[in-house]
Amino acid sequence: MILDKLVNAERYYSLHAGFRKAFEFLFRRDIADLPDARYEIDGERIYATVFDGQGKGRKSAKLETHSKYIDIHYSISGFDEVGWNPVQECSAKDGGYDSKKDFQLFSDVPKIWIPHAPGTFIIFFPEDAHAPITAEKGLRKAVVKVAVKW
């Protein structure tokens, strides 16, 4: 898991072949005006989803993991908190792995809550269980999915 400000994104380009394109999407001048939708960046290898609304609160948030994609969560406006556990410490699977949607839910309680302020991004790798969109007030964020296998 990596937490940083978007202005520092270039530091992470070398971690994955798809990160440069992923961050280029987040640097779009019109990102704050994009409607809620899915945006293809590089076919199924990189795509983004924009969310605008109210989160589910800490009590309703569930930890999730992904096997096929790395998530880059970017807070456009509004303050969010994201729960986090290393997946090795998650023991309470909530249903089976959904290979079509690429997620596994867990009912474990997050050990750490990460503040997610506007202008910051968080990268979640497959080993990072995360509980996103807990803000109980207005939140606008983009989540870019980058395929693990390139």
- The model's pTM is 0.96
- What's the mean pLDDT in 12-24? 98
Percent of the chain at pLDDT exceeding 70: 100
- What's the mean pLDDT in 133-143? 91
Q: What is the pLDDT of residue 28?
A: 97
3-state secondary structure the chain: CEEEEHHHHHHHHHHCCCHHHHHHHHCCCCHHHCCCCEEEEECECEEEEEEEEECCCCCCCCEEECCCEEEEEEEEECCEEEEEEEHHHCCCECCCCECCCCEEEECCCCCEEEEECCCEEEEECCCEEEECCCCCCEEEEEEEEEECCC
- What digits encode the pLDDT tens for the residues 62-103? 999 999 999 999 999 999 999 999 999 999 999 999 999 999
Using 50, 70 and 90 to split pLDDT, how confident is the model at 55? Answer: confident
For the chain, the average pLDDT equals 96
